[in-house]
Structure 1
Amino acid sequence: MKWIIVIVFVSVVVSSNAQREPSIPLSPLSFRQITRGLSPPPMGRSPVTSDIIIRHYSRNSTSPNSRRIGNIKQLLKEPSFDVNRPTVVYAHGYVEKVTDESVATVVSAYLRVGGYNLLVVDWSNIAFGNYIVVAKRLPATGEAVGIALSKLLKRGLSLKGLHLVGHSMGAHLVSYAARYLMARGYTVPRMTGLDPAYPGFYPPIVAPHMSPSDATFVDVIHTDGGYFGTPASTGHADFWPNGGTAKQPGCVSATIPLTNEDFCSHFRSWLLWSESVTGDALLARRCEDYDTFLRGDCQDEPLVFLGIRATPDLRGNYYLRTAAKPPYGLGLRGVS
């Protein structure tokens, strides 16, 4: 954890013209990340892969249908689960719960548009506690998810419509699941990383990081590069809104390290993803770097979409500007 604190401290002094006035905000949630990093698993949960829960969300229910990962085949008996429909598998990040805003926001976006089997990997039983310990256990956790998904694929789930999405550590988790599936003959069509976790993964000191070889198309949204999120291109198409680093527009310039406010830029990735599910104003252009983009030297590059509408032919680094509050998409103003 000492390495992480050093990295985060830099965020207190970095500034940009788009961020809010310097202040040290606090709320009842401010120290949640710190507390959970020192806490055992949520009550009633055990830190073993067999206690991972797959939660199926649908418009037909006010709460998800939940299954222990070993019983995932029971999903096939649910009337609202259609093996021919596209399936999204979402994995939350370190010390997060499915009741947190991050998961609730993503779930809400998908339920609004409909047409998906939406599965959330609830691995909060393993995600709590020491960061290094959790990271070391992540490959086995991802493999357990891969085993579960292979059971569904063997029983008719459409591989063509499978999309793995993960935030922070969850991005690496779904990459391990994809690698397990690939070793068994199932190549995942698309995998998305939302600000993949940086410390311990780049370079892969604690555990391997996600890579373009994990799926047919791998896209990544970077919003806190060099702090909690990786500063490295790690997909076929890497998107760098506002340069992809802290502080993102709307995030306060001065924060107490490791507080909820300090994660503002890191959390922006799932907010942008959720907005992309329901809207189409997050446009980007390929460019050499953000400074070149800001100078307008990439105006001849075609417009592309950040988020769910990104197409599998995209390759390279893409840039855009966003607003400081929802809706974040600026349309053409964000790329001109």
Structure 2
Amino acid sequence: MKEMAVEFLKREPCNVFIVQWDGGVNYFQATQDIRVVALEIAALINHLAVKCGLRGSDVHLVGHSLGAHTCGYVGQHVPGVGRITGLDPADPSYTYMPEFVRLDPSDADFVDVIHTDSQSILGNGLGMRQPVGHLDFFPNAGRYQPGCELWKVPEAALRKGVRGVVSAAADFTVCSHSRAPSLFTESINSHCRFLAFRCASYMALHLGQCISCGNNMERCAVMGMDADKFMPAEGFSRNSSFFLTTANEPPFCQHPYAVRIFPADMHNTSHWGHLSVELRGISGLVKELPLTENDESVSCLPTRFVHVRETLWLTSFSPQRAKF
């Protein structure tokens, strides 16, 4: 959160308060303690309103995991909070609970949520799958985040023996859950916008069923700091889900491209091979993007293509890494 605070201060004159507590309490005890923490934060905001003229509409609360629900409780005690950003709100004890128990759209004028670790708790998922804001963003389907694969555990950690393995395993467990704060932090001052599409699912996005923003941007939104400035044209609706793709390492922001391929052979035949697309800029440099699976361990294996009327791939690239 300290890195996020620095980015806020770089962006504009503001006051940033970081609230953090620990002490080794178990998770279920913490779910009770955050109500007390929320009351203390609400008391601070109300004090600043009386002594300094702070307006609720100028308050932006940002919370990660249990902190997201803490922000929700604050909103229940401070009427007129301008915005709450929930970063992968905690799942256990909150999913599909009544709105007064968890973060929900009534807690602020605008509630935006980034979901990054919403796989089942049985699969070590720590975040909610349920949409709980005005706008809910699901980067990379909102589940396992790229770059958090177990096989990417640093070799250096493994060389440290049992302690290193335990540390690496802990990092792996929270990797996707911790991605939400990283994405939001990057968005505060990035020139690249995390463009997301309103879709029924992440698969629908990659099947090309919702890759248009519409005439008035009514089917797109921007994830992150500027989510409130690039809202859909018809305004905020409760629980609107948006999907996008991000990179596996910073900078995470990518530009999406839809590529349609029309094969010359229309018969029901198939071939094996690889497909890629090249992006050429005015400087003459080339960025090559694979359209088919490009896992380094199996890159020598071709992909089977069935000749249909047309095929669509959705691919993305990071503009900060490509000098065009």
TM-score class, shorter-chain normalisation, is 0.5 to 0.7
| Aligned equivalent of 1:318 | 242
Distance 2:33 2:18 in 1: 19
TM normalised by structure 2 equals 0.65
1:124 partnered with 2:22: yes
* Separation in 1, partners of 2:95, 2:210: 29
**Could you say which residue in structure 1 is the equivalent of 2:11?**
113
1:239 aligns with 2:163: no
Q: Is residue 178 of structure 1 aligned with residue 75 of structure 2?
A: yes
List per-residue Cα deviations over 1:146-175 (Å, max 9, x = no partner).
121111112201322211110000001111
The question of whether the paired residues in 1 share the 8 Å contact of 2:87 and 2:115 is answered with yes
Q: Deviation string for 1:210-254 (max 9, x for gaps)?
A: 1111111110000001310001101110000000002x0111236
Kindly provide the CA deviation profile for residues 69-93 of structure 1, in whole angstroms up to 9, marking residues without a partner as x.
xxxxxxxxxxxxxxxxxxxxxxxxx
**How many Å apart are 1:203 and its aligned residue?**
4.0
Question: TM-score, with normalisation over the residues of structure 1?
Answer: 0.63
TM-superposition CA deviations, 1:118-137 (whole Å, max 9, x none): 11113335xx3211111122
The aligned residue for residue 304 of structure 1 is: 221
CA-atom RMSD, angstroms?
2.2
For 2:17 and 2:243, the matched residues in 1 are separated by 30
Tell me, yes or no, if structure 1 residue 213 matches structure 2 residue 106. yes
Task: Select the structure of larger CA radius of gyration.
Answer: 2
Aligned to 1:153: 49
Structure 1 unmatched ranges of 5 or more: 1-102
How far residue 283 of structure 1 moved from its aligned partner, in angstroms, is: 1.1
Summarize the alignment of residues 262-281 of structure 1 with structure 2, pairs less than 5 Å apart: 262-279=173-190, 280-281=192-193
Question: Are residue 162 (structure 1) and residue 55 (structure 2) matched?
Answer: no
CA distance in 1, matches of 2:35, 2:181: 22
Deviation at 1:104, TM superposition (A): 2.4
Letter in 1 for 2:221: V
Shift of 1:290: 0.8
Of 147, 152, 158 in structure 2, the residue corresponding to residue 250 of structure 1 is: 147
Residue by residue, what CA displacement relative to the aligned partner does 1:101-122 show, whole Å, maximum 9, x if unpaired?
Answer: xx12212222332322111113
Separation in 2 of the partners of 1:132 and 1:168?
13
5+ residue gaps in structure 2? 120-124, 154-165, 259-313, 316-324
Conserved? CA contact 1:222–1:240, under 8 Å = yes
